[in-house]
Homo-oligomer: A and B are copies of this chain.
Amino acid sequence: MAKILIIGGAGMLGLRLAQALLENGEAGGVPLERLTLFDMAPAAIGDGDGRLCVETGDIAEAGVAARLLAGRPDVIFHLAAIVSGEAERDFDKGYRINLDATRALFEAIRVENAASGYCPRVVFASSLAVFGVPLPDVIGDDQILTPMSSYGTQKAIGELLLADYSRRGFMNGIGLRLPTICIRPGKPNAAASGFFSNILREPLAGQEAVLPVGEDVRHWFASPRAAIGYLVHAAAIDTAKLDGRRNLTMPGVSATVADEIAALERFGGKEAVALIRRQPDQAIEAIISTWPKAFNAKRALALGFVPDASFDAIVTAHLEDAGGR
């Protein structure tokens, strides 16, 4: 019987992962016994399921990680993070949550490992922000990590720690560099990447959306559904096949803003496209120009991670998920 812990369980991915795990009723072929969602705020999820446990706290605080391990989760998803913009504005907070809390978690696992041989699967959400310019148009699995933000630095350090703690046998870790999630559900937000989702989600719902960059801007995407698939797959994969390279760039769909708009027209017609308001923003254009455009994610594909089939599939997933929930 599998016990699963999601750290960052109240976030967009954490909640959807929880719903998927509860629906699947198993993880890696083992029936789900208990699913604990941990976050700063209580996860907004129905409490009717006896397998579910919602906990709150600060993962960076001394003793909190050890307390979370008391239930001996077989699989730990570590999704908690201060996002890029905030980690850049608040240096201390970014390092405290994105680095110190990650290390505190791994350290608590090491202590348990020494005491009892406990060795959980740890699935760590890393980020494309570990990469920095200059970047080739299509990035391979051996691209050097030269982050250009404190967030990217913290994620790159998390990857290194995960690899070392796993190599030493304290835990069985796997790190996933997730593509930019599109179409991100919810309201438009201030993130530099927000427009990639806004220009689809809002017009599809009859609302205006702002496009701050040109149509030739290209980036790397996964639907929330594909991202959840990656996390679930990572929990069950045979990590011996990783050959000690524990951190993987996830596959995705490479698309330009023009590709997005063409998809929008197919699903919403010209009147949807007319809801996009072009309002060039040089600051956002400058940030996005340093971002990855496309990857050849050979290793992850060979290991069975399955991306969205096309950009249209990303829109379809959004419409189905938005309709179903």
How long is the Cα–Cα vector from A96 to B163 in the complex, in angstroms?
18
A187 on the interface (CB 8 Å rule)? Answer: no
Q: Are B150 and A160 in contact, CB atoms less than 8 angstroms apart? A: no
Candidates B143, B153, B157, B167; contact of A144 at CB < 8 Å: B143
Q: Are A164 and B150 in contact, CB atoms less than 8 angstroms apart? A: yes
Q: Are A244 and B167 in contact, CB atoms less than 8 angstroms apart? A: no
A161 on the interface (CB 8 Å rule)? Answer: yes
Number of copies: 2
| A290 to B: closest C-beta gap in Å | 11
- For A153-170 the 0/1 string (1 means CB < 8 A from B) is 100110011011001100
A148 on the interface (CB 8 Å rule)? Answer: yes
Chain B residues near A245 (CB-CB < 8 A): 146
Within 8 A of B (CB), among A13-31: none
Q: Are B164 and A153 in contact, CB atoms less than 8 angstroms apart? A: yes
How long is the Cα–Cα vector from A160 to B150 in the complex, in angstroms?
9
A145 on the interface (CB 8 Å rule)? Answer: yes
A142 on the interface (CB 8 Å rule)? Answer: yes
Q: Quick one: given A145-B144, A145-B145, are A161 and B153 in contact (CB under 8 Å)? A: yes
Q: Are A144 and B147 in contact, CB atoms less than 8 angstroms apart? A: no
Chain B residues near A144 (CB-CB < 8 A): 142-145
How long is the Cα–Cα vector from A110 to B150 in the complex, in angstroms?
14
- For A130-158 the 0/1 string (1 means CB < 8 A from B) is 00100000000011111110100100110
Q: Are B168 and A150 in contact, CB atoms less than 8 angstroms apart? A: yes
Q: Are B153 and A163 in contact, CB atoms less than 8 angstroms apart? A: yes
Candidates B142, B157, B164, B244; contact of A160 at CB < 8 Å: B157
Chain B residues near A163 (CB-CB < 8 A): 146-147, 153
Chain B residues near A142 (CB-CB < 8 A): 143-144
Chain B residues near A110 (CB-CB < 8 A): 91
Q: Are B145 and A164 in contact, CB atoms less than 8 angstroms apart? A: no
Within 8 A of B (CB), among A83-101: 91
- For A97-111 the 0/1 string (1 means CB < 8 A from B) is 000000000000010
Given pairs A132-B244, A157-B157, 12 additional interface contacts (CB within 8 A): A142-B143, A142-B144, A143-B144, A144-B144, A146-B244, A146-B245, A147-B163, A150-B164, A153-B161, A156-B160, A157-B161, A160-B160
